[in-house]
Amino acid sequence: MKGRTLGKRAELAAGRVAIAALAKLSGKLNRERIGRWGTRLGDLAYFGSCRYRRVALANLAQAFPDWSQRDVRRTARETFRNFARGLLEFFYLQRVSPEELDEWIMIEGAEHVDAALAKGQGIICVTAHLGNWEILARKLARQGYRLSVIARDSDDPETTRIINHVRENGGYKVLGRDSSALAALRCLRKNELLGILPDQNTLSGVFVEFFDRPVAAVTGPAVLALKTGAAIMCGFARRTPEGRFKAVVYPPLDLPHTGSEEGDVHALTAAFTRVIEAEIRKDPAQWLWLHDRWRRTAEAPGGSTVPETSS
């Protein structure tokens, strides 16, 4: 942590303590109690975090301009609850038996995965911070698929170590987002699955439409698919009213080949972004609205600043 301010070091230390506390708490819960505790912790975070509450409210008001303020606030609050449940579930998954995992989540569309793997060029699995993306990865590994996921390291190395240990405990590998693209290429060349979550703001990439506004979108999935011929497939694990998860894997996206590499990358990036948006619209509270996805909207051609919603 050399070179970091005292405030940043304190923030990272607090985050490490929170992760340890959640891990300990999850060990004392069952799935039903996770739901109740997730509601309590989510409400605590909603009312206690002015910064993230303001971001979530602003995002929802812009994405759904026909909603009332009551609808916006209700959905934002439920977003915090779902995020808290997901954190508890993440650590609880370490103690889940294979049989309980099978009962907790079902996958629809696995035949699309098998058909794509039969072609021998690997699969780029695009998902989002929606529902519980971690249980989806664990379920795919449980079903025998060889899977690696690209994940951003935490600013705190110890937190990164803890989180990656939990993930690898689930039977899949973790590739750091800042690591060489060679690891991702090797994964595809071995006809494996490569999981990517391209639904957050990026400092590079291209601008595409997302909820009728331009966002900066990472082009990695499109570039890899066009370079290797790997299938690019979208899949999501949404929470059900019964407390389980239903994962849906959609057929591969068509790979454009117009002769313009730049145009093809943009078209494919826009295509998987549309799929992500469509999935979010089915149940908006399951997506991570407290992330400032439209941070760079004003930089896009014809972009405009995003007005804030009062807290």
Residue 243 in domain: yes
Domain that holds residue 178: 6-299
pLDDT at 240 over 90: yes
Which residues are CB-neighbours of 124 under 8 A, at least 6 positions away? 188, 194, 196, 221, 224, 225, 230, 231, 232, 233
The per-residue pLDDT of the chain, averaged, comes to 91
Residue 166 in domain: yes
Per the CB < 8 A criterion, the answer to whether 56 and 2 are in contact is: no
Residue 304 in domain: no
Report the Cα–Cα distance between both ends of the chain, in Å, rounded: 33
Helix extents (H) in 179-260? 181-189, 220-228
User: What pLDDT does 8 receive?
Assistant: 63
Residue 306 in domain: no
Per the CB < 8 A criterion, the answer to whether 245 and 132 are in contact is: yes
Is 0.85 topped by the overall pTM?
Answer: yes
Q: Tens of pLDDT along 251-303?
A: 999 999 999 999 999 999 999 999 999 999 999 999 999 999 999 999 998 75
177 — pLDDT class (breaks 50, 70, 90): confident
Per the CB < 8 A criterion, the answer to whether 134 and 239 are in contact is: no
Residue 77 in domain: yes
User: What pLDDT does 184 receive?
Assistant: 94
Q: Tens of pLDDT along 196-220?
A: 999 999 998 999 999 999 999 999 9
User: How far lies 73's CA from each of 37, 283, 306, in Å?
Assistant: 20, 15, 18
Residue 305 in domain: no
Beta strands, E only, 61-115: 105-108
Our count of domains for the chain comes to 1
Residue 309 in domain: no
Which of 269-292 are b and which e, b meaning 16 or more Cβ less than 10 Å from the residue's Cβ?
bbbbbebbbebbeebbbbbbbbbb
